[in-house]
Structure 1
Amino acid sequence: MSYALLLLPLLVAAVVCAVVALRGDRRGWTALAIAAAAVLALTLAFDSLMIALDLFRYDDALLLGPHIGLVPIEDLGYALVALLVVVALWRLLPARGRAEERRTDA
């Protein structure tokens, strides 16, 4: 199984979760775009460093082919999945502090 086939269902599920969590929230989408740019830039920098130091290797037969620096394109997908899942969980799970404030206000 290639890295892309492993990534695809995770990425689809994460995108669906983020769309559900951020529907109708323009500020949320803007914040997500800024966070995605930061996470992807950090992933490129640190993954390139770790690959250059030979801390890990990829099986070339399982890669799609395109690289940005030393980082295979699939590696960016995993960082994006993590970001989308965190954003969705942050928005969809009730905030404990707000729930307690509502109970004391009522």
Structure 2
Amino acid sequence: MTTYPLILIPFVTVTLIVTLATARRPRFARRMAWSALAAVGLLALTAVFDNVMIAVGLFTYPEVHLSGIRVGLAPIEDFAYPLCAAFLVPAVATLLERPER
């Protein structure tokens, strides 16, 4: 049973909903561009450091719980969290902003 991909569903769903809830707010396109740039950086860092940590034996993943897709040694599921963070954090911050007068 692929448990880790199922765990990601709520995170990805919340990220999509909250990000789309900010679509009518000012500077949405600019925020998405910056989020995409942040996502690229976070994904690159995840690829490097997850592979290093797995290679030196800091942690492992039970194969039965993974999708089987890997980037080096890192399971693809590890990349969803930084991707969600890159879009969710700015979206939440936008929703919490006080409206301009």
User: Rg: which structure is higher?
Assistant: 1
Identical columns (%):
38
Segments of structure 1 that go 5 or more residues without pairing to the other structure are: none
Per the normalisation by structure 1, the TM-score is 0.81
**C-alpha RMSD of the superposition:** 2.0
**1:29 and 2:32 matched:** yes
CA distance in 1, matches of 2:62, 2:24: 38
User: 1:5-62 CA deviation, whole Å, 9 max, x = no partner?
Assistant: 0111111111211122244621111111111111111111111111111111101000
Question: Does the 8 Å contact 1:21/1:92 carry over to 2?
Answer: yes
Per the normalisation by structure 2, the TM-score is 0.84
Q: Within 5 Å, which residues of 2 pair with 1:70-89?
A: 70-89=73-92
Q: CA deviation at 1:4?
A: 0.3
The alignment covers a number of residue pairs equal to: 98
The letter of the residue matching 1:28 is R
Partner of residue 17, structure 1: 18
CA distance in 1, matches of 2:86, 2:34: 11
The letter of the residue matching 2:10 is P
Q: Runs (4+) of structure 1 moved beyond 6 Å?
A: none
Segments of structure 2 that go 5 or more residues without pairing to the other structure are: none
